Structure 1
């Protein structure tokens, strides 16, 4: 299958084939700048995504869009209000559809939404501050793939909160409770992610403004492991675990063009540096089906796919590159359809066949 991405060094255009049913790229233009975005993971909801607005007031939106594969274009399924911009959107990690069709968003709070064909209803709004109706803004969160009743959220107040979900007596209603809350960093926490290592339920890592990557175990929260510290103590903005080999994770620092890959067995020393971006990196996502491939995206309008198999030899250049028409602020690799990557820039959502 041809890819929409160019092989690096190959100037020939390989975008599309003319047949709308076989296109290698599909676009959706939202009515506002897009930031939050993610794929549904359910096999019976192919090419369903959620996108969130970035509007600097209290009137943000989230839209659910679905690709009509016969017409070759996205169809807007529903729109709902979301006061502040979504810092992250995720669908419940349930590929077979045996659980309620839920979506979570972070911003001022962690919210869970129940999605039906033409309607979205807020199930619950989770506040980790017992003493106030307000909580510190959430920078990100992650939904535990091994146990979908666990979510972890990161906040600017230096904490990570691990939430448990439960279904109430009213069938289908979902509520949440704080399983644990911990001070994770010395400054703001920017991202949190569970790893599949050790059974995949209890281990997670976080990154923050103190420039460190820290790993935690829910079974023993008195101790954490510092996996890496930025030499200049620059804030680390995102982290992403390798989906197939949990020994590896990737992160990047603020306003930096470099993505570093870490091996948890050899803390503190990056095992690879991915350096081909010409402006700040904004997003990273590992292939769901391969331990050797990762996609990075940034302000240089580029989405780059790398093969890290040569590690610990230097990774000089990416294997594939895509040039967008704007600064890419979000990138996600579809877990249920690993031939497809999604990116966001300006008011555009694009999905690319790789």
Structure 2
């Protein structure tokens, strides 16, 4: 699995999303009639001379970009106390991430807050609008404190960050659901560490002022735990959603270790690992319904299901793909549904109830052109999942959808314009987000329906596609 994001350059993007293929600016200035916009397909379409990619702002309820300096391979959204289900703009979110710097001493963990995330709800059937109707940012949110969105729209989100020194690159970082100030990191030094970031999160919660990433001091903080029992670096790590503090970590030497909390700040790590894979463990996921059950995926092309009550060998193991199984996701709204993404660009969905009868594959997609780097089920819609790939695309899929020609014709009539969309796309494909380079990880926001955050070589995107609507009532809220 290609993972490295080490890059000293701090590149900025001006075009986000890249949903349409449009005319060249020189053509419009010379009065040549506009070329009808059409959907751009990476790996299929080619830019002709004078053409450029343009983002369709009507495709998003909200779209913002930012970076913290160095590229980040992994991040996690931190659960907050601002409301269990939030549907009204502006939004605020907290995250943790770790850098991929060009020297070990330059790395850090970033704890950041993004507030004043603007946007608006749009109709599912779009009407013709000009670019002046959009309120989305056209540049990174941390570049200027007083930067305003396109055409004098709302101000850019407020970006605040605090940094903690981390020896070596951060391969993966995860925040505990039940105690979100507790985070675990996998480092390329071969160490798994657990941190308490409560002081940083509290400081961010109390502050309303932009904090420049360049002016922020990188603090030295001692981790609560530093585990040195792994014999190699790794990427696989997951907190249990059912047992606070329970953790599993897997390394590139095929070993998986179980962590059990001994107190609020100490853990007992079983030095005898779970062993069943023959190659690197790439990802781990706890069952959303069974406390002792977790799943793993590996470079050996298999997925294994483990039960901690049954010893150190897998309860079951299946050949899942024809290449490395990079990432997995267990559906927390429909626990039998299990998704996996491979190094060959394919991803599959299995019904675990059917494992005894065979491979249990209920859906298999070959849309992406390069390795799948992240996959995650929506926390609000049981049939929806998001996927990112090294082909620079983030896609959203709804497995409940089937092609309906009458509905397509009705939609086309309501828009009152010709839709230049490919006819051979899978009907389950809801949305394609482009504009980020080397996408590495994505997460749905569990408290803001329809919001995703993604990280790539050139920074982060916050996006809310306009056709991803939650069935939750708009006035639903909880502390």
Separation (CA, whole Å) in 2 of partners of 1:75 and 1:263: 41
- Residues 126 and 176 in structure 1, CA contact (< 8 A), matched pair in contact too: no
Render the CA deviation track for 1:158-179: whole Å, top value 9, x for unaligned.
1111101233xxxxx6111114
Provide the residue aligned with 2:293 in structure 1.
203
Question: Structure 1 residues 120, 317: closer, same or farther in 2, change over 3 A?
Answer: farther
Render the CA deviation track for 1:229-278: whole Å, top value 9, x for unaligned.
0464x221111111211111111222x12111111122324211122223
Provide the residue aligned with 1:283 in structure 2.
374
Structure having the higher strand fraction is 1
Provide the residue aligned with 1:42 in structure 2.
80
Provide the residue aligned with 1:77 in structure 2.
161
**TM-score (norm: length of structure 2):** 0.62
- Residues 240 and 251 in structure 1, CA contact (< 8 A), matched pair in contact too: yes
Work out which of the residue numbers 178, 184, 193 in structure 2 matches 1:104.
184
- Residues 304 and 318 in structure 1, CA contact (< 8 A), matched pair in contact too: yes
TM-superposed CA distance for 1:344, in Å, is 1.2
Separation (CA, whole Å) in 1 of partners of 2:180 and 2:339: 31
Provide the residue aligned with 2:387 in structure 1.
296
Provide the residue aligned with 1:161 in structure 2.
257
Q: Does 1:218 align with 2:308?
A: yes
Judge which range, 268-277 or 205-214, deviates more. 268-277
Structure having the higher helix fraction is 2
Provide the residue aligned with 2:65 in structure 1.
27
TM-superposed CA distance for 1:325, in Å, is 3.3
Unpaired runs of at least 5, structure 2: 1-16, 21-36, 40-53, 84-91, 118-154, 204-218, 403-424, 466-479
Q: Does 1:138 align with 2:220?
A: no
Provide the residue aligned with 1:243 in structure 2.
332
**TM-score (norm: length of structure 1):** 0.83
Query: Which one has more relative contact order, counting CA pairs under 8 Å at least 6 apart?
Result: 2
Work out which of the residue numbers 303, 319, 325 in structure 1 matches 2:436.
325
Q: Does 1:270 align with 2:371?
A: no
Q: How many residues align?
A: 327
Question: Structure 1 residues 62, 309: closer, same or farther in 2, change over 3 A?
Answer: same
TM-superposed CA distance for 1:226, in Å, is 3.4
- Residues 79 and 180 in structure 2, CA contact (< 8 A), matched pair in contact too: no
Render the CA deviation track for 1:85-127: whole Å, top value 9, x for unaligned.
2221111202xxxx47212211222211111134784442332
- Residues 352 and 360 in structure 2, CA contact (< 8 A), matched pair in contact too: no
- Residues 250 and 283 in structure 2, CA contact (< 8 A), matched pair in contact too: yes
Separation (CA, whole Å) in 1 of partners of 2:244 and 2:382: 23
What secondary structure sits across from 2:315 in the alignment?
strand
Separation (CA, whole Å) in 1 of partners of 2:58 and 2:166: 35
Question: Structure 1 residues 197, 23: closer, same or farther in 2, change over 3 A?
Answer: closer
Unpaired runs of at least 5, structure 1: 168-172
TM-superposed CA distance for 1:315, in Å, is 5.4
TM-superposed CA distance for 1:227, in Å, is 4.6
- Which 4+ stretches in 1 moved above 4 angstroms? 4-7, 9-14, 314-317
Q: Which has the larger radius of gyration?
A: 2
Provide the residue aligned with 2:196 in structure 1.
114
Work out which of the residue numbers 318, 326, 336 in structure 1 matches 2:447.
336
TM-superposed CA distance for 1:293, in Å, is 0.3
